[in-house]
Amino acid sequence: MITIIFIVAMVAITSFSIMDAMGLWLLVLVLHGPLVDRLGSLAVHLPLQMGLCLITVVLIRKKWQRMPFSVIALVIGIVMLMCLAALFGIDPEKSIPEIMNYGKGFLLVVMLVMLVRDKKDIQKLTLYCLAGLAVGALMAIYQYKTGTFRINTMTVKRVATLRGDPNDTAMLFVAGLSLAIYWLKESRRLVAKILAGGSFAFLVIGTILTGSRGGFLALVFVMGLIYLKSFSIKSTLGAITVVTMLIVMAPGSYWDRVNSIFSGKDLNHGGSLDHRKNLQKDGLNLALDNLALGVGSGNFGTAFFAGRNNARMGTFTGSSSLVAHNMYLEFLVENGIFGMFLFMLIIFRTFVSLRKVDAKLRPYIKNKDYFPLGYSIAVSLAGMLLSGFFLSQAKNSVLWFMIGLGLAAEFAICKAPNQEELPIQENLRLEVAA
């Protein structure tokens, strides 16, 4: 019944506003973990079902726009290389569902490029994304207050809301920080500024409560990028406030975990760091052994234990579902050097697109406190990509949504050839001398 309600709502909203339907779909992608926790198996395939509804209505209404050849070539190229790697891999049958999972991300990219038309569409989607992440952060604070931790031991207490793993949740929280700053500076109403500032604070607190070491590094990295772009006395005071909040509110166990990053020693003689070091080292050797085509999507664990004796991995031993805890290493092992090249090319192309967007908008913006739209999306994506060095999240739907939004932004904004066609509000334009 719940699934039917969501699908009917999706069809109805798409009929009136495609971007609001895309936003609702994004909300479900962000909050998929909590929805599955609350609704059970009924919500497992809900994002896919909503996506299919959206595609169907768009096709019926013929509301798409022409897709640039460069994006088509990149998407088709990486899919073909992944299929080739699976065909010559060690377990083609296992690779098929994994490629389909990647395909959902590629579909997001294609749909965003085909449907996003102007700056307002981009802004609307970033707002939906921020709303979903802020809700997840509030849920994390609720878990902390009620003691319903995802990981709850005598020495470690960690929350996880958006995904079942605290590290995966932290990766998403960090992605919302720059979006919150964008809307804090973009909004003109006090209530909107308070909501944006509150969202930023919730996301910082939520990241801390996950106890994620990778999340901490991504948090510092993203906040540094935000500060560099908005350097001023006001932002300096804000940064001091955030750092003070971190020091005061973070539990002692959190700083013990952070300290283990630099000491290289786990808490209570745990073996997590040593396991990961061995995993990364042997994973690199495995990548060199299968450099051309890889072992096929989803086959990292099988290839890892089949190719060498890894008894020293302790609890990981014998698990064919083992992941690399590094999305770049895992993608390289599974899809080879050529697939990895296209994967990195898509990411590079996205950052280039976002840079072009800000270059196009900059001459027409008179607000001195302006935080660039393209830069905010780029920082959001950069935070997730940095987290990817510690997580196997190459299939993450929100990651691919940001990639798609970055590519779509260029073709939605940079296609305007002159000031009159530039999709910016009139009161934000500068008069250009004749």
Distance between CA 301 and CA 282 in Å, rounded? Answer: 11
Please report the pLDDT score of residue 263 as a whole number. 66
Please report the pLDDT score of residue 320 as a whole number. 56
DSSP line for 120-171:
HHHHHHHHHHHHHHHHHHHHHHHHHHHT--SEE-SS-EE---SSSSHHHHHH
Q: Greater confidence, 249 or 133?
A: 133
Structure-block tokens of residue 43: 């919500």
Residue 356 has pLDDT above 50, yes or no: yes
Please report the pLDDT score of residue 11 as a whole number. 80
Residue 418 has pLDDT above 50, yes or no: no
Backbone φ, ψ for residue 158 (5° rounding): -135, 140
Q: What share of the chain is helix, strand, coil (3-state, %, to 5)?
A: 75, 0, 25
Distance between CA 150 and CA 38 in Å, rounded? Answer: 15
Please report the pLDDT score of residue 328 as a whole number. 95
Structure-block tokens of residue 264: 């290289």
Please report the pLDDT score of residue 423 as a whole number. 46
Residue type, 272: S
CB atoms within 10 A of CB 363: 11
Residues paired with 157 in a beta bridge: 152
- Based on its alpha-carbon atoms, the radius of gyration of the chain, rounded to whole angstroms, reads 22
Q: Give the β-pairing of 151-152 and 157-158.
A: antiparallel
Structure-block tokens of residue 94: 């296992």
Residue 395 has pLDDT above 60, yes or no: yes
Distance between CA 183 and CA 74 in Å, rounded? Answer: 31
Least confident piece of the model among 214-218, 366-370, 376-380, 384-388 = 366-370
Percentage of the residues of the chain whose pLDDT score is greater than 70:
87
Residue 6 has pLDDT above 80, yes or no: no
Q: Are 155 and 161 in contact (CB under 8 A)?
A: no
Please report the pLDDT score of residue 2 as a whole number. 66
Helices (H), 297-326: 300-307
Least confident piece of the model among 127-141, 204-218, 336-350 = 204-218
Residue type, 35: L
Torsion of CA 352, 356, 357, 359, to 10 degrees: 140
> Per DSSP, which regions of 214-291 are E strands?
none
Looking from the CA of 23 toward its CB, the CA atoms found within 13 Å total 17
Residue 97 has pLDDT above 60, yes or no: yes
Q: Greater confidence, 87 or 278?
A: 87
The confidence band for 430, taking pLDDT boundaries of 50, 70 and 90, is very low
Q: Which of 306, 298, 368, 294 is nearest to 335 (CA)?
A: 294
Residue 238 has pLDDT above 80, yes or no: no
Distance between CA 129 and CA 173 in Å, rounded? Answer: 11
Q: Greater confidence, 418 or 345?
A: 345
Burial class (CB in 10 A: 0-12, 13-18, 19+), 228: exposed
Q: Which of 173, 208, 233, 203 is nearest to 383 (CA)?
A: 173
Q: Are 193 and 187 in contact (CB under 8 A)?
A: yes
Distance between CA 310 and CA 165 in Å, rounded? Answer: 25
Backbone φ, ψ for residue 248 (5° rounding): -75, -45
Structure-block tokens of residue 361: 């908008």
Query: Mean of the per-residue pLDDT values for the chain?
Result: 84
Percentage of the residues of the chain whose pLDDT score is greater than 90:
43
Tell me the pLDDT tens digit for each residue of 104-118: 899 899 999 999 988
Structure-block tokens of residue 410: 């260029």
**pTM assigned to the model:** 0.88
Tell me the pLDDT tens digit for each residue of 243-300: 787 777 677 677 777 777 766 666 655 556 667 777 888 889 889 988 998 999 999 9
Please report the pLDDT score of residue 266 as a whole number. 62
Tell me the pLDDT tens digit for each residue of 178-198: 999 999 999 889 999 999 999
Q: Report the pLDDT averaged over residues 13-35.
A: 89
The confidence band for 45, taking pLDDT boundaries of 50, 70 and 90, is confident
Q: Report the pLDDT averaged over residues 129-157.
A: 90
Distance between CA 307 and CA 10 in Å, rounded? Answer: 47
Q: Are 126 and 179 in contact (CB under 8 A)?
A: yes
Least confident piece of the model among 37-46, 92-101, 192-201, 243-252 = 243-252
Residue 177 has pLDDT above 80, yes or no: yes
Q: Report the pLDDT averaged over residues 417-428.
A: 44
Residue 310 has pLDDT above 80, yes or no: no
Residues paired with 151 in a beta bridge: 158
- Long-range pairs of 267-270 with CB within 8 A, sequence gap ≥ 24: 267/155, 267/156, 268/155
Distance between CA 119 and CA 232 in Å, rounded? Answer: 27
